Every structure is written in structure tokens, then in C-alpha cells.
Structure 1
Amino acid sequence: MTSVAADLTEVRAAAELLGFALARRARPVEGGQYRALLDRYRSELRFRDVVDTMAEGLGLEVLGTPRSGLVLAPDPAGPFATRLGDLRSTMDADDRLVFGLVLIGIAAYAYPTDADFDDPETKLVEVATIDGFIRAALGTLGSLAGVEGSAEERARAAAQVYADLPQLITTQTGRRARGCTLKAVEDVCGWLVEQGAAREAASLGPDTFHLTDRFRLLVADSAGGGALDALRDLRREDVP
């Protein structure tokens, strides 16, 4: 095999590994192709360089290789960036504010300290607990200082919208209906499952979720901002 062919083989393998990582729900099980490629990335410097270079060209950054697989972070301006506008088409501006608030609420609740970002232990979150945590923080979020258009200003607006929503509205069948905060938290948890950032903890109840290493590393990479910092501060007060 020529050196060019060998290089092309590595490029193909690198693309395949990135494809597994972008699939989100793919798991590197023992004996599978994803696991074999992940092991190559961990052990072969040349192959790692090919993967990292290809990822960079696609607007992606490799954050780590935990047990759950290769974790990628998209460039905010890149083609793989997730934007609130990409969410459910029926979401209005207030829905998006609440979605973002719940997302950082989950992050703050699960990872209140920097040491938590290095802890591979699975974090559990529960819908009602997250809702209660956010509700208790609304006063703090509402007092954040920030100019118009800033993240802090959006956090204040999100806190006001959240405060105005009822905690629970039910459908005729007894399920949570849209327009209440418990449903908003449930929807975000479901979205995290779709992204491979959480798994349902069915044995612990329908409202409990395991956060994956993917979510931990993504939060660690993007941690910062007045709203997230304020929520993490509040959460640290509750942690022994």
C-alpha cells in the first residue's frame, strides 16, 4: 500500500469516527467499530492529529474521549452549531428564553464547582427538583446587572417569563401541558436525551435523567456568564 493510500485510509477512518461522534446516540461498545476507532484516537498520535485537523476544518473541537465516546464542541459560527432557532418551530421568543434558562439551570445544578467538571461520576437530575431550583433563583437572576442585549439582560427577561408561568397545567389525560414550567423542564431534558447529553433513568422514575459525559464536557467548555455563575453560586450554598 502506498503512503498516499495509507493517508487516505486514515482520513476515511477519521471521518468515520467523527460521524459516530456526531450521531450523538452512538455508543462505543466493546468489539464495535466506534470503539476500535476511539481506541486508535486515544493511542495513535498520528491518527489523533488527522481527526483533530478534520474536526477543526468542520468547525468542531474535540473536548475529550470519555467512556461515552468522542465529545465534540461546535464553533458558534460553524455549520454544526445548535441555535435556539433550530428548536421546535412553534416556540416563540418567550419559549426560547425559558428553554435557555432551564438549560443553564440544569448545568448549574449538576456542576456547581469546577471540580465537578473533572468528576466522571454520573449526575442525576429530576424534573421537579430542577424546577424548584430555578424558581428559588428567580430573584437573584432578576437582579443581574447587564446592558440591553447582554446575556444578563436575557437572563432577567427569562426569569420574569418563568415567574409568570404556572408550575403545572395538565391535559385532559393528566399529562403536563405546554405553558407550565414543569413541562418546560421536561422538554429540555427530553431534548438533552436526543442530543446524547442525557439518558432516561427509567428505574428511578419517568422524571429522572442521567447527564452524560458529553453534557459535562460541553458545559465545562462553555462555562461562564453572569446567569450561570449566579446559579452555580446558589447551588454551592445547598451542597454540603
Structure 2
Amino acid sequence: MTAPTTAAPDLTDASALVGFGLQPRLRPLQYPRYRDLVQRCRLDRTFRAAVEAFADGLEMDLIEVHPVEGLVLHPRHGSLFTFRLMDHPTLKSDQRLVLGLAHVGIAARVYPFPADLEEDTVKRVSIDEVDGFLRHLIKRLQDATRDSDGLALPHAGLDAAWRCYAKLTPGRPTPTGRLTHSSSQRWIRDALDWLVDQGMAYNAEKDLGAGHFRLAHRFRLQVREAASGAAFALLSDIRRAQLVEQD
């Protein structure tokens, strides 16, 4: 007796749902077909298995099927869909370090506790808050990397990044009002604008004021997948300590 196979229409629907998931700015509530496929994937185990198989073929993991956010996919290391800062054609090496630190800083500032990564709520954050946290981080790392003779000691992984960041001024607007690349807040805005483009954040400046963003459920899930990274763990530790100090 042969094992049952997935019907061709199911496979077509599964591939269509993965296609929606590969466009992270789309939301099920905006597209009836996307909404129906999300609902089916949440209720039908056989159909979900077909969706997972398609994602697996693209070297991506299906991490959640959310009624509002839709299909949330996480690319594996080496996947065609993995975005690496080192692949960005216009960034210099020190700029990639600063932008990478800004991304990790946003995540650690908003989700410092493991419980934060399980809480299905939309968080808000501002450019000023992230910059303030990263400058607090730099002060802590500077203090931690000095021995009794006052000599700077290297900090694995983050040493080059925070040293590059420390050289930047918080804000230096151009005559048109834009921040220059010598401004740390420019890189934080670039990081947040990229999250908006990826459907992981929303610009909230009209509601909350200049430099404010809301972080989507999709961003929290992606951070949760990468939470075991050493950089995120260290920045989260420092953020938790900062919260204790503020209390």
C-alpha cells in the first residue's frame, strides 16, 4: 500500500502561499487569497506540511503562520534569500560594522529579556533611544576592556564595531536636513528604514514624532530565531543591567 500523496492543487496553493511569504510587506488582510491560504495553513496539517516542504526546498524555515503578519520565513545560512551586510555593494567595511551594530542594538534595546521574544505585542522605538543605548554600550565596553594599567583590551566580535561607532557624532544634518554618514543616527535610521522595506517595522513619525518606528511581530520572530548569537546576548545583558540601574 503506497503512502498518500499531496494533490496537485494543494501543491499549487502551497507554492502560492510561500510566494506571498517571500514578499514580507504583504499582509493577509489586504489580499483575500493570501488570507484564505494563511487560514488553511493554520488549520490543515497536511497543507502546512506541503508549505514547509516548499520552504525547505528554498533553504528557509517556516517559523510562524500569523493571521495578521502572514507567512513568516527565516532563511538558513547560505540560502539565496539570506541578506548579508558584506554583500552590500556600496558599503565600506567600517560602514557595514556600524550598520550591523545598529541592527543588533535595535533588537537588544527592544527585546532584552527572553520573555520579550515570546510576547505578541507591537513595540515602539526611536532613533534617539537606540543611539543612547549604543553609546551606553560603548561606555560599558570601554570600561570593561581596560586593565589595571589603563590599556585597551580587544573585545571579541564587537571590538571593531563599537570603535567605529564611537568615532561618529550623534547627529550632523546636511543643509537639506538629512543626516550625513558621519552621524550615528543616520545609520540607525538606515537600519530602521530597511526593516520597514522588509515588512518588519512601520514608520510612526506621524503619530509619535520624528524618528519613531513601530516594530512588527515579524521582526520579533526573526530576532527570536537569531537570539543565540553572541553579539545579541551581550547587548541584551548590558540592556538588562541598564534597566536595573534606571530603576
TM-score w.r.t. length of structure 2: 0.87
Structure 2 partner of 1:232: 236
Report if aligned partners of 1:141, 1:155 keep a CA contact under 8 Å in 2: no
Is 1:119 matched up with 2:119?
yes
1:223 aligned to which of 205, 222, 227: 227
CA displacement at 1:226 relative to structure 2: 2.9
Structure 1 partner of 2:78: 77
Q: Secondary structure at the match of 1:80?
A: coil
CA displacement at 1:31 relative to structure 2: 6.5
Report if aligned partners of 1:141, 1:230 keep a CA contact under 8 Å in 2: no
Is 1:170 matched up with 2:173?
yes
State the distance in 2 between where 1:43 and 1:18 align. 16
State the distance in 1 between where 2:50 and 2:210 align. 41
Q: Secondary structure at the match of 1:154?
A: coil
Report if aligned partners of 1:140, 1:230 keep a CA contact under 8 Å in 2: no
Which of the two has higher C-alpha Rg? 2
1:174-230 per-residue CA deviation (whole Å, 9 max, x = no partner) reads: 221222101010110000000111111131123111111111011101112332112
State the distance in 1 between where 2:174 and 2:31 align. 46
Report if aligned partners of 2:157, 2:231 keep a CA contact under 8 Å in 1: no
Unaligned ranges ≥5, structure 2: 146-154
Unaligned ranges ≥5, structure 1: 145-151
State the distance in 1 between where 2:10 and 2:210 align. 43
Q: Secondary structure at the match of 1:26?
A: coil
- Within 5 Å, which residues of 2 pair with 1:41-190? 41-66=41-66, 67-87=68-88, 89-141=89-141, 143=144, 153-190=156-193
Superposed CA RMSD: 1.8
State the distance in 2 between where 1:172 and 1:30 align. 39
State the distance in 1 between where 2:10 and 2:166 align. 53
Cα 1:8/1:219, change in 2 over 3 Å: same
CA displacement at 1:141 relative to structure 2: 4.1
- Within 5 Å, which residues of 2 pair with 1:194-233? 194-201=197-204, 202-233=206-237
Deviates more, 1:49-58 or 1:198-207: 198-207
Cα 1:172/1:30, change in 2 over 3 Å: closer
CA displacement at 1:79 relative to structure 2: 1.0
Cα 1:141/1:64, change in 2 over 3 Å: farther
State the distance in 1 between where 2:208 and 2:215 align. 14
State the distance in 1 between where 2:141 and 2:112 align. 16
CA displacement at 1:172 relative to structure 2: 1.1
Q: Secondary structure at the match of 1:36?
A: helix
Is 1:12 matched up with 2:12?
yes
State the distance in 2 between where 1:220 and 1:189 align. 18
Deviates more, 1:133-142 or 1:207-216: 133-142
Deviates more, 1:175-184 or 1:224-233: 224-233
CA displacement at 1:139 relative to structure 2: 3.5
Report if aligned partners of 2:171, 2:186 keep a CA contact under 8 Å in 1: yes
State the distance in 2 between where 1:31 and 1:91 align. 36
Q: Percent identity?
A: 37
Cα 1:69/1:203, change in 2 over 3 Å: same
TM-score w.r.t. length of structure 1: 0.89
Aligned residues: 229
